[in-house]
Amino acid sequence: MSEFSVIGRRLPKVNSWAHLTGQARYADDLFLPRMLYGRLLRSTRPHARILRVDTRRALAHPGVVAVVTGADMPEKMGIMPSTQDETALAVDRVRYVGEPVAAVAAFDEDTAFDALSLIQVDYEDLEPIFTIEEALERDDVKIHDEAKRANVFKEVHLSFGDLEGGFGAADHVRDDWFFFEGNTHAPIESHSAVASYGPDDKLTLWTATQVPHYLHRELEKVLGLPRSRIRVIATPNGGAFGGKSDPFGHEFAAALLSMRTRRPVKITLDREEVFYAHRGRHPVKMRIRTGVKKDGEITAVHYQSWLDGGAYASYGIATTYYTGALLTVTYRIPAYKFDGVRVYTNKPPCGPKRGHGTTQPRYGFECQIDKIAEDLDLDPLEYRKKILQPANSRTVNDLRITSMGLGECLDALQRSTRYSERRGQLGTGKGIGLAGSAYISGAGLPIYWNEMPHSGAEIRIDRGGGVTVMCGTSEIGQGSDNMLASVAAEALGVMPADVHVVSGDTSLAPVDLGSYSSRVTFMAGNAVRDAAMKLRALLVAAAAEKLEVPAERLLTAYGRIYDRDDPAKFTTFADAAVLAESKHGTLVAAGSYKPPKGIGGSFKGAGVGPTPAYSYQAAVAEVTVDMDTGMVTVDKVTTAHDCGRALNPANVEGQVEGSAYMGYGEIIGEEQVFRGGLHKKPSLLDYKIPTSLDTPVLEAIVVESVDAEGPFGAKEAGEGPLNPVIPAIANAVYDAIGVRFDETPITAEKILTALGKRDRRGERKTRIGPDGLDAGKADPKRALRRLTASTDARERKRPVS
């Protein structure tokens, strides 16, 4: 018999029923009386000065009610307070094709769209920068004038332990370059926001956001409206994956248009616009040098990364640190140096995508670990097990490790897949690969410095025993509403279905920092548990008095408060609520959570990496490579994930499988790529996300390490499981055809090149990947000139109505 009545059970999510009957209200599903429809005019130039924006003809267009431009909201904004370099709509300058420049509100969407072509923007083209290498070198072209050196956004250097000594003591040193291509979240729901400025001079914004609290702050800054007059309501997100965790131009534009017109305004992005909103995976070049002893023990790691950040900061400062911060938490590394550089380029801004900044280095490092195992003739699984960072330890970069289940994950995989016996034995074209990984259960520090809780929750119990949980979390499909209901229900002794959840509403719910960095289960879970335990104490005290049983002997479950020794002696939860309210007054309690001190170091840059608990995971991929067509079929991905404790195993498995799916898409073909600054694939027709027919068989194995600080022992499950899948597939392809893929994605074309089927000499390669920093590819500027000419020709031909 489980010690829990809710935790650990496969109960349906409390918000499923709305999803399954079409009654969930996403932002685009809101239709308010007198509502206007907005659209954004976007830049056609990758880099240009804005000389003039003339909106007169658009304003005169029948049906248009208001037009706003960047000049109406010139205040700088951005998710990270220390690097705010964006404006809601472009002011003076555009820095990527697709950057919002102006916004129109009209009676209907067609009219708003038509009016966009009546806005005249005069641009003076500036030379664009498209590659990391150009961005590093070109001091004469500045995408942001504030950049100190060329187009470098951020440069970090951290060193821990005796690096020289470590490499000196090594018997073997590997030095490998890797490239991870950029890609995007592609949630099925496009971004959408509805703003309503009321007669009381208060603004309400319903929006598909992961971060209602941070958006609340930015709205105040940009609109000049006190936060006390703004209410942000995060609507259920139709998928987010990190892509809805920045403040976006359309949110400010809808708000300002509503303030100007005093009517509700909705702006929903179309699919092409979602690719420009982006904030997805950074393209990253990496160099990893690792020294090992003969037995494989790591003596030193020097990790370098160069991130292509796109046109603006977004979370870039955190992303840059994340590329280096978490390499140390899986395997013992006694000496470690990290150098990271993020540059600006004239492309849509990159930001956090599931696995934020850790996915790229984890890919490189796990491929390199596979190579080291081969160099030393070690079994890659046994090798990883031998060098594990121990539980309850500190890493060389001063990160506190508590529960650590990577070893159990590897054991579970070996039992399930027989990896060690099958590696190298499957014959040409068939392969099996392995990788491990880790992730944070929430960032240890908030985005703006403060001493307040990271998560707050409030619970109210009504006189009929109804329980309402209020928390600022944003439900993005990860199941946060259900987590809140489940934790409260377990603590109070009711069922999740009896709990009402009010989330993501800045007026009704206490602040939670948002649904990013896999922080919600751990942090909001602890906050809601804290609140629930306070109310439980009141209920139990009142019930003890009535039942004449000592309070310590009372248990709460299934809507009853009962005597442990004699379950027939009970009071119902609803009766207990009445007794408790009579005795103690209105039943409301607040709870909060803040990570403990001392989970990270105190050096500059130590703020990124610490977390109250790391999740661990490993994956085994099985692949088949068609030697004639180069097509890679991933037959199966098995992922074992240490989530601390599975609050709801079905939902944990869903996260693990969904992560494997997304990782598979990233390595097998998804890429956010450009030709002369123009997105090559800004539609779901061209940007292929895996269908049911593409997707491998996915198996999830849940490993429970029961974390001492997690709510009922839980850690994160939503992001970490993506990380090992990518290197596991690369390692499996190596096992199949003997070619190392040190760059993503692994396309059929690259496979054929490697097999010598695409060049005349027919030479086989053993590796596809970069050899250093270089431009090396076709001149992107030439493509730009060609495209500009054709765009200009098309614009000249466009009839002016």
Partner 1 sequence: MTKQLLTLRVNGEPRTIAADPHHTLLEVLREELGLTGTKHGCELGECGACTVLVDGVPILACLTLPTLVGDSEVTTVEGLASAEDLHPLQVAFAEEGAAQCGYCTPGMLMTAKALLDTTARPTRAQIASAISGNLCRCTGYTAIYEAIEKAAEISQGTQSEGGAGAQPLRRPGARSLTGAQLP
Tell me: does residue 19 bind partner 1 (CB under 8 A): yes
Tell me: does residue 476 bind partner 1 (CB under 8 A): yes
Among the listed ranges 19-27, 387-395, 437-445, 620-628, the one in contact with partner 1 (CB under 8 A) is 19-27
Are the CB atoms for 409 and 642 separated by under 8 Å? Answer: yes
Q: What type of residue is 515?
A: S
7, 8, 28, 366: which one binds partner 1 (CB under 8 A): 28
Sign, CA torsion 103/104/110/111: negative
Tell me: does residue 477 bind partner 1 (CB under 8 A): yes
Among the listed ranges 124-132, 245-253, 539-547, 695-703, the one in contact with partner 1 (CB under 8 A) is 695-703
Q: How far apart are CA 491 and CA 498, in angstroms?
A: 13
Tell me: does residue 189 bind partner 1 (CB under 8 A): yes
Tell me: does residue 691 bind partner 1 (CB under 8 A): yes
Q: Which residue has the tokens 């000592």?
A: 550
Least gap, CB of 409 to partner 1 (angstroms): 18
Tell me: does residue 63 bind partner 1 (CB under 8 A): no
The conformational region for residue 322 under phi > 0 = left, psi -120 to 50 = alpha, else beta, is: alpha
Spatial CB neighbours of 331, under 8 Å, sequence gap ≥ 6: 298, 369, 384, 387, 388, 389, 436
Tell me: does residue 290 bind partner 1 (CB under 8 A): no
Among the listed ranges 81-89, 182-190, 404-412, 790-798, the one in contact with partner 1 (CB under 8 A) is 182-190
Among the listed ranges 43-51, 223-231, 446-454, 473-481, the one in contact with partner 1 (CB under 8 A) is 473-481
Least gap, CB of 721 to partner 1 (angstroms): 10
Among the listed ranges 344-352, 373-381, 393-401, 656-664, the one in contact with partner 1 (CB under 8 A) is 656-664
Strands (E), 7-84: 36-42, 48-54, 64-69
Q: What type of residue is 767?
A: R
Tell me: does residue 355 bind partner 1 (CB under 8 A): no
Q: What is the largest CA-CA distance in the chain?
A: 90
Least gap, CB of 36 to partner 1 (angstroms): 14
- Contact track, partner 1, 605-624, x by CB under 8 A: --------------------
53, 467, 495, 702: which one binds partner 1 (CB under 8 A): 495
Q: How far apart are CA 647 and CA 490, in angstroms?
A: 10
Tell me: does residue 603 bind partner 1 (CB under 8 A): no
The DSSP secondary structure of 340-386, one letter per residue, reads EEEE--SSPPP---TTTTTHHHHHHHHHHHHHHHHHTT--HHHHHHH
Least gap, CB of 424 to partner 1 (angstroms): 28
Tell me: does residue 187 bind partner 1 (CB under 8 A): yes
Tell me: does residue 210 bind partner 1 (CB under 8 A): no
Q: Is 636 or 767 the residue whose CB approaches partner 1 more closely?
A: 636
Output the CA angle 17-515-445, nearest 5 degrees: 155
Spatial CB neighbours of 738, under 8 Å, sequence gap ≥ 6: 766
Q: Is 587 or 662 the residue whose CB approaches partner 1 more closely?
A: 662
Q: Is 75 or 694 the residue whose CB approaches partner 1 more closely?
A: 694
Tell me: does residue 449 bind partner 1 (CB under 8 A): no
Least gap, CB of 59 to partner 1 (angstroms): 21
Least gap, CB of 646 to partner 1 (angstroms): 12
Among the listed ranges 263-271, 372-380, 428-436, 529-537, the one in contact with partner 1 (CB under 8 A) is 263-271
Least gap, CB of 110 to partner 1 (angstroms): 7
Q: What DSSP designation does 235 have? A: P
Closest of 132, 165, 153, 3 to residue 80, by C-alpha: 153
Tell me: does residue 149 bind partner 1 (CB under 8 A): no
Tell me: does residue 801 bind partner 1 (CB under 8 A): no
Q: Beta strands 172-180 and 284-292: pairing type?
A: antiparallel
Q: How far apart are CA 564 and CA 554, in angstroms?
A: 6
Among the listed ranges 333-341, 359-367, 421-429, 678-686, the one in contact with partner 1 (CB under 8 A) is 678-686
170, 698, 728, 754: which one binds partner 1 (CB under 8 A): 698
Tell me: does residue 478 bind partner 1 (CB under 8 A): yes
Tell me: does residue 22 bind partner 1 (CB under 8 A): yes
Tell me: does residue 426 bind partner 1 (CB under 8 A): no
Tell me: does residue 559 bind partner 1 (CB under 8 A): yes
Q: At 595, phi and psi to the nearest 5?
A: -60, 150
Interface with partner 1 in residues 518-537 (CB under 8 A)? none
Are the CB atoms for 642 and 616 separated by under 8 Å? Answer: yes
Q: Is 235 or 592 the residue whose CB approaches partner 1 more closely?
A: 235
Interface with partner 1 in residues 90-129 (CB under 8 A)? 110
Closest of 207, 247, 203 to residue 229, by C-alpha: 203
43, 268, 571, 638: which one binds partner 1 (CB under 8 A): 268
Least gap, CB of 188 to partner 1 (angstroms): 5
Q: Which residue has the tokens 């976006």?
A: 248
26, 379, 541, 675: which one binds partner 1 (CB under 8 A): 26
Least gap, CB of 14 to partner 1 (angstroms): 9
Among the listed ranges 75-83, 185-193, 451-459, 734-742, the one in contact with partner 1 (CB under 8 A) is 185-193
Among the listed ranges 22-30, 88-96, 626-634, 757-765, the one in contact with partner 1 (CB under 8 A) is 22-30
Q: How far apart are CA 640 and CA 698, in angstroms?
A: 11
Q: What DSSP designation does 90 have? A: -
Are the CB atoms for 434 and 381 separated by under 8 Å? Answer: yes
Q: Which residue has the tokens 């050899």?
A: 771
Tell me: does residue 416 bind partner 1 (CB under 8 A): no
Tokens of 408: 């159990």
Interface with partner 1 in residues 220-249 (CB under 8 A)? 236-241
Taking 3-state DSSP, the helix, strand and coil percentages for the chain, each rounded to the nearest 5, stand at 30, 25, 45
Q: How far apart are CA 131 and CA 126, in angstroms?
A: 16
Tell me: does residue 23 bind partner 1 (CB under 8 A): yes
Closest of 720, 458, 495 to residue 7, by C-alpha: 495
Tell me: does residue 253 bind partner 1 (CB under 8 A): no
Q: What DSSP designation does 585 have? A: S
The residue count of the chain comes to: 801
Closest of 37, 92, 42, 28 to residue 276, by C-alpha: 42
